[in-house]
Structure 1
């Protein structure tokens, strides 16, 4: 993981929080990322993913998740969204 305010990647650890602006990269192997709403992303080998926006709006259930896949591939399982929510990968 490379934190938004840093220029060097560090080892991503189990249960580590990911914040807006962070980038997760894989070389060999893959990583499973679970969101607060139980949606998941499996980032495959040789991939880079940037977390552009991560918002959860209180008790409404609305979420705004925007990610940018810079390189590689991923698979995802998204919890059904409520009206007004967004889940976007570019």
Structure 2
């Protein structure tokens, strides 16, 4: 199975079928939507870590903070391959 598709499936766990359909349509119409969602998630993670009293040592790729990485973007082709 396509890793991008698996990521989307994990992200959508617990959603209703209608919500998943709306989300997948938004991604297919505009792949930038997924990138925006990833950036917002990375901002929330960074904010949580910054306001924490604890020390945190984590790999940036596991936090979705690697937005400069070439694998960060998901193309329409990759998403459509995963749907088959």
Same-fold status (TM-score > 0.5): no
Rg larger for: 2
Larger helix fraction of residues: 2
Q: Which structure has the higher relative contact order (CA within 8 Å, separation 6+)?
A: 2
Q: TM-score, normalised by structure 2?
A: 0.28
Q: TM-score, normalised by structure 1?
A: 0.27
Larger strand fraction of residues: 1
